[in-house]
Structure 1
Amino acid sequence: MTEDRRVLPVVGGPRPERADAVRNRRRILAAARRVIAARGVEGLSLDDVAREAGVGVGTVYRRFGGRSRLLYALIDEREREFQSAFMHGPAPLGPGDGDAAPAARVRAFLHALADRTEEQSELLLTAESDTPFARFRDAYYDLYRLHLTGLIERIRPSDAEYLADALLAPLAANLFRYQRHARGMDVARIKAGLDDLLAGVIHPQEGVMREAGPRPH
């Protein structure tokens, strides 16, 4: 089965809700944004969000289940745009008319995910670090992994699931922020490194690696 035939539902997409639930959600998310604006992501607590929103902390817990899920809710809008692009958009990131080379799509996905991580790296770092294995328990990661596995199976069927995890590993928010802010790497250099990793997965004849030239700094 090719990746394009898989059914990949958009994670975090809107679900039908009662009007009061919608109001509470919007109120809580707006309060969370104000708390983050005032204190940063590290200063975000559910107690503070509840006070700012004018609701009980139990309401926040029931609505979001915990701090990590609240952070992911703040990330959701941008995430839905990203998912729509790689699942339904034009090639090479999306399937386009269906004839995009799988290796080109893997490369486009990794580059787009690098840009996506750069945009919200602080929020992603906090969400992914909130509980043990939080990144791997989240449905976003499952969708990324399924998407890459389906593409890699068309390039190199042996152990595509492991290779999908291996290609996603450098885009964990903690490593990404370490490289960006402690090591001083720019996003172009990170993408160049992802290309090198991908070169070990695809066959040379796929020909989607960057052209030879000076490595970005």
Structure 2
Amino acid sequence: MRRVDGPALPLRAPRVERADAVRNRQHLLATAREMLTEQGADTLTMDGLAERAGLGKGTVFRRFGTRAGIFQALLEDDERSFQDQVMSGPPPLGPGAAPLDRLVAYGQARFRFMLGHREIARAALDGKHPVPAGAETPLSRIHIRMLLGQMRLGDADLDILAVQLTAALDGPLLLYLSASDLTEAARQVEERVAQGWEDLVQRVCRP
């Protein structure tokens, strides 16, 4: 049985699809990941994906709509796995740890997720969504608000505090890190951002 504490985090309800459509989607996403590993995001195209997957171009266009739609689907797929870790994974990211420890772990894991998906998030930009972080992701705000409510923070406005802490995790900031920033000092960037989040949370949530 899965462990879950607090309110369910919102995920877009999956569409009911035919079995062949599900197989095609899984095959296309797996193929897209292979191409990303081999070639990087810049060279992945709708036509190239169709040819590599051995499917018609119409199938790819119906599935994703645009090139950005490919990356949005990849991001959403990984977002679901991330949320599952938060909801039922081992502590401190998952249930079972003190709320302050979970909040620190959540922010650090979220930063790692965004850093690891930076190129996919860039390619997912199509002008329709202001924040390229999956389909719909009030995940951070709701989860952070839940954890804040489990702490003794006096008369603090927890709703506003959750919004402000969520803003500190905002994905677009990471999109502006240059390739050289992450290539030359990726480990240092990750460590500094993770430490910065812990420092912020420790100061904000001090009783």
Same fold flag (TM > 0.5)? yes
* Equivalent in 101, 104, 110 of residue 113 of structure 1: 110
- Quick check: 186-195 or 175-184, which moved more? 175-184
Q: Which amino acid letter does the alignment assign opposite residue 8 of structure 2?
A: V
1:201 to 191, 198, 204: 204
| Candidates 175, 190, 194, aligned match of 1:191 | 194
Unaligned runs of 5+ in 1: 206-217
Q: Distance in 2 between matches of 1:170 and 1:196?
A: 19
Contact 1:124 1:173 in 2 (8 A): no
* Whole-angstrom distance in 1 between the partners of 2:17 and 2:134: 24
How many angstroms does 1:67 deviate by?
2.8
Matches within 5 A, 1:15-164: 17-76=17-76, 78-96=78-96, 100-127=97-124, 129-131=125-127, 133-135=130-132, 138-139=135-136, 141-154=137-150, 155=153, 156=156, 157=158, 159-164=160-165
Q: If the length of structure 1 is used for normalisation, what is the TM-score?
A: 0.71
Cα shift readout 1:42-66 (whole Å, capped 9, x = no counterpart): 1122232223333343322322343
Identity of matched residues, %: 34
Q: Deviations over 1:58-114 (max 9, x none)?
A: 322322343333224334554333212211223321122xxx432221101011122
Give me the CA root mean square deviation.
3.3
Alpha-carbon separation, structure 2, partners of 1:125 and 1:46: 16
Counterpart CA distance in 1 for 2:171 and 2:196 is 9
C-alpha contact (below 8 Å) 1:136/1:142 kept by paired residues: no
* Highest RCO, 1 vs 2 (Cα 8 Å, sep ≥ 6): 2
The one-letter code matched in structure 1 to 2:139 is L
* Structure 2: tracts of 5 or more residues without a match: none
TM-score, with length taken from structure 2 = 0.74
Q: How much has 1:181 moved relative to structure 2? A: 2.3
